[in-house]
Chains A and B, each alone.
With several copies, the nearest count.
Chain A
Amino acid sequence: MPVFKDLFRSKSRYATVKPSQGDGDQPRPQPARPKEVPDGLWVKCPGCQNILYQRELARNLQVCARCGHHFHVGAVERLSQLLDSLDTFEEWDTDLRTVNPLGFPGYEEKLARMQAQTGLSEAVVTGEGKLDKYPVAVGVLDFSFFSGSMGSVVGEKLTRLFERALERRIPVVVVSGGGGGARMQEGILSLMQMAKTSQAVERFGASRQPYISVLTNPTMGGVYASFASLGDYILAEPGALIGFAGPRIVERTIRQSLPSGFQTSEFALKNGMVDMIVERKDLRPTLARILRLHRA
């Protein structure tokens, strides 16, 4: 779509409003470093019920060494797993802030709580980093922030990610894991982010650079039914929940229990919806290989 390419280079076409919160509540730019894991903390593995030490788990990329269960990975930790080094990462659009466009009850409070808990300002971190020595535009949804759901800021940051990658002619990698899908609290504006991001993906195609979509647990709803499904290559971590309608809603609708393995990565692979299932330890090499093939 070379015709439209120039149009979208200019910034700030979205509606900007003044932040409605007081100064003290403002989220801070998050530190671009994985949080230190305190010694001695342990978790029970939902896969094999074994007790795992978090430090060990972190060393194993948050994958259970016994059963291979893939735990959630925060955005910053994910970046450190995928990029050559976090030092190569330049974060984009840290200045965008979520507002409460519908005046949805309790939204500001919940946001503030999420921000305090996670150190993130929103559910996605975007920017440019180096993978295999070459620049790549990368976006990572963080499940711990509002289930990684997409509101106006997530949609805008992802859209700009694709726009800048198009300008710079560099590939895009997006790691999606948003159980919430669209952000209910922003109502119809969340739904519109599905259109906005999908259009950004398609326009990015003009770069002739690949967009690799990585689906992690869980990728559902409006996230799955937009940019996450539109990758030139779609990789999925093993055992991730992937689908549109939530399993409990499906269960209630059909009034019977779900078949085992329903809406897993393996189910999606069998049904032709993803290209391959990639274990976390193989994710970086696989991304590197695909990107290398595109540079050849």
Chain B
Amino acid sequence: MVNGVFEWERPLIELENRIKELQAFTKEKGIDFSEELATLERKADRLRAEIFSNLTPWQRVQLARHPRRPTTLDYINMICTDFVELSGDRCVRDDEAMVGGLALLDGMPVTIIGPQKGRDTKENIRRNFGLPHPEGYRKALRLMQQAEKFGRPIVSLIDVVGAYPGIEAEQRGQGVAIAENIRRMSFLRVPIVCVITGEGGSGGALAIGVGDRVLMMENAWYSVISPEMCAEILWKDTGRAPDAAAVLKIGAQDLLELGVIDEVIPEPLGGAHRDREQAAQRLKEAVVRHLRELLPLSGDELIHRRLEKYRRMGRLAQETEERLQAVSESPRD
């Protein structure tokens, strides 16, 4: 990527820039280029549809990582009012790679949490590039348990490459923290709506990703392993991450078909970063709609359905009794 532009979208970006220039020129000089502009716009529309309607899995991964893609706090600020950010796990540290707090969403009080990437280098260092330590997961859990205490629904916005592969993170038991979060989250008595907004990497995502509804932005990815690491394992070549992205089935549409997510939230053509406000509005609409469906349910009912949902996860085959019989009667080796 050069200047936030991918190679494969360059023709479109150049065309869009020419349109902008022409518009500026029109305004400045007062010359009418409306006919030329219309032609260019039509061409741009065609090109946009052509490029963005047939994105490869890897192109979507690239969009999910776009530096101008809205971060968790960006979304919170766009979809909520009265956000009160809360800090700390009450045990070790405040992990700024995980944010959360209390806010109004469409008039409803909610607890909203999520990993937070930095929007520049300085912020990225403070936020460990959006990679939480165990205390980040524990902070999220603390806030979710607070939500449960007050009967507030929970919105979890997920955008994380994965758990942090660092010494301290291992020392302070990120495996245990992730397991504990999964366990506790599964039995919270309030509605939980999770949205993979960007990257959904492995245990780091699942640690805040068990919900009554799991939604996914159109260009987000969610996987048991990052495409790079998968490529490294399969072909000893991280350069083949695009191939790995394809075989892992990590796109929103694939996950919908696998029954792992409940809905795909469409993004503005070309990705959330091309129209952040619109992306946020669509996210908000979907989250609010699902929350309103869940709010009438009792705690028991929520947990019951949530457990049923995860109980069904997985695909396997069951041998028939007869087949097993036949196999075990055949001679060994």
| A and B physically associate | yes
Known A29-B328, A253-B166; judge A276-B317 contact (CB<8 A): no
* A290 near B87: Cβ-Cβ < 8 Å: no
Nearest CB in chain A to that of B203: its residue: A225
Nearest CB in chain B to that of A245: its residue: B165
A48 contacts partner chain B, Cβ-Cβ < 8 Å: no
Q: A186, A196, A220, A221: which contacts B311 (Cβ < 8 A)? A: A196
A113 contacts partner chain B, Cβ-Cβ < 8 Å: no
Min distance, Cβ A194 to any Cβ of chain B, angstroms:
6
Q: A1, A96, A225: which contacts B318 (Cβ < 8 A)? A: A96
Nearest CB in chain A to that of B299: its residue: A3
* A202 near B183: Cβ-Cβ < 8 Å: yes
Q: Which residues of A contact B94 (CB under 8 A)?
A: 269-272
Cβ proximity bits A246-265 to B, threshold 8 Å, 1 near / 0 not? 10011011100011001100
Q: Which residues of B contact A195 (CB under 8 A)?
A: 182, 186, 206, 210, 310, 313
Q: Which residues of A contact B109 (CB under 8 A)?
A: 293-294, 296
Min distance, Cβ A204 to any Cβ of chain B, angstroms:
11
Q: A16, A29, A191, A267: which contacts B324 (Cβ < 8 A)? A: A29
* B313 near A221: Cβ-Cβ < 8 Å: no
Nearest CB in chain A to that of B300: its residue: A3
B304 contacts partner chain A, Cβ-Cβ < 8 Å: yes
* A7 near B304: Cβ-Cβ < 8 Å: yes
Q: How far is the CA of A16 from the CA of B312 in the complex (A)?
A: 10
Interface residue tally of chain B, by bracket? Answer: 35 or more
A144 contacts partner chain B, Cβ-Cβ < 8 Å: no
* B304 near A152: Cβ-Cβ < 8 Å: no
Q: Which residues of B contact A152 (CB under 8 A)?
A: 314-316
* A188 near B224: Cβ-Cβ < 8 Å: yes
Q: How far is the CA of A155 from the CA of B225 in the complex (A)?
A: 17
* B318 near A12: Cβ-Cβ < 8 Å: yes
Q: A28, A254, A259, A271: which contacts B172 (Cβ < 8 A)? A: A271
B255 contacts partner chain A, Cβ-Cβ < 8 Å: yes
Q: Which residues of B contact A224 (CB under 8 A)?
A: 175, 179
Min distance, Cβ B75 to any Cβ of chain A, angstroms:
18
Q: Which residues of A contact B167 (CB under 8 A)?
A: 250, 254, 258-259, 262
Nearest CB in chain A to that of B143: its residue: A275
* A159 near B311: Cβ-Cβ < 8 Å: yes
Q: Which residues of B contact A53 (CB under 8 A)?
A: none
A38 contacts partner chain B, Cβ-Cβ < 8 Å: no
List residues 98-154 of chain B with CB under 8 A from any CB of chain A. 102-104, 107-109, 135, 139, 146, 149-151
A22 contacts partner chain B, Cβ-Cβ < 8 Å: no
* B166 near A191: Cβ-Cβ < 8 Å: no
Known A8-B307, A196-B311; judge A97-B180 contact (CB<8 A): no
Q: B172, B300, B314, B332: which contacts A156 (Cβ < 8 A)? A: B314
Q: A102, A229, A246, A262: which contacts B249 (Cβ < 8 A)? A: A102
B248 contacts partner chain A, Cβ-Cβ < 8 Å: yes
B36 contacts partner chain A, Cβ-Cβ < 8 Å: no
List residues 163-200 of chain B with CB under 8 A from any CB of chain A. 163-167, 169-176, 178-180, 182-183, 186-187
A37 contacts partner chain B, Cβ-Cβ < 8 Å: no
Known A7-B304, A224-B175, A275-B87; judge A97-B82 contact (CB<8 A): no
Min distance, Cβ A118 to any Cβ of chain B, angstroms:
12
* B93 near A270: Cβ-Cβ < 8 Å: yes
Q: How far is the CA of A230 from the CA of B178 in the complex (A)?
A: 10
* A201 near B165: Cβ-Cβ < 8 Å: no
Q: Which residues of A contact B255 (CB under 8 A)?
A: 188
Counting chain B CB atoms within 10 Å of each CB, the highest count among A15, A225, A226 belongs to: A225
List residues 207-258 of chain A with CB under 8 A from any CB of chain B. 208, 210, 220-222, 224-230, 232-233, 242-246, 249-250, 252-254, 258
* B179 near A1: Cβ-Cβ < 8 Å: no
B84 contacts partner chain A, Cβ-Cβ < 8 Å: yes
B223 contacts partner chain A, Cβ-Cβ < 8 Å: yes
Q: How far is the CA of A20 from the CA of B128 in the complex (A)?
A: 44
Q: Which residues of A contact B169 (CB under 8 A)?
A: 244-245
Q: How far is the CA of A245 from the CA of B169 in the complex (A)?
A: 9
Q: B92, B202, B210, B229: which contacts A271 (Cβ < 8 A)? A: B92
Known A8-B311, A15-B315, A195-B310; judge A273-B90 contact (CB<8 A): yes
Min distance, Cβ A20 to any Cβ of chain B, angstroms:
8
* B170 near A101: Cβ-Cβ < 8 Å: no
Min distance, Cβ A153 to any Cβ of chain B, angstroms:
5
* B171 near A153: Cβ-Cβ < 8 Å: no
Q: How far is the CA of A202 from the CA of B310 in the complex (A)?
A: 13
* B146 near A273: Cβ-Cβ < 8 Å: no
Cβ proximity bits B211-235 to A, threshold 8 Å, 1 near / 0 not? 0000000000011110001100100
B residues near A (Cβ < 8 Å) are: 82, 84-95, 102-104, 107-109, 135, 139, 146, 149-151, 163-167, 169-176, 178-180, 182-183, 186-187, 202-203, 206-207, 210, 222-225, 229-230, 233, 247-250, 255, 258-260, 300, 303-304, 307-308, 310-321, 323-324, 327-328, 330, 332
For this complex, 24 residue pairs linking A to B, each with C-beta atoms less than 8 Å apart, are: A8-B307, A28-B327, A29-B324, A95-B318, A104-B247, A152-B314, A152-B316, A156-B316, A187-B248, A187-B250, A191-B224, A194-B178, A220-B175, A222-B202, A222-B203, A229-B175, A244-B169, A246-B165, A250-B167, A272-B87, A272-B90, A273-B173, A289-B82, A293-B102
A residues near B (Cβ < 8 Å) are: 1, 3-4, 7-8, 12-20, 26, 28-29, 31, 94-99, 101-102, 104-105, 151-153, 155-156, 159, 182-184, 186-196, 198-199, 201-203, 205, 208, 210, 220-222, 224-230, 232-233, 242-246, 249-250, 252-254, 258-259, 262-263, 267-276, 286, 289-290, 292-294, 296
Q: Which 6 A-B pairs have the closest CB atoms?
A: A272-B88, A152-B314, A245-B165, A192-B313, A244-B175, A229-B179
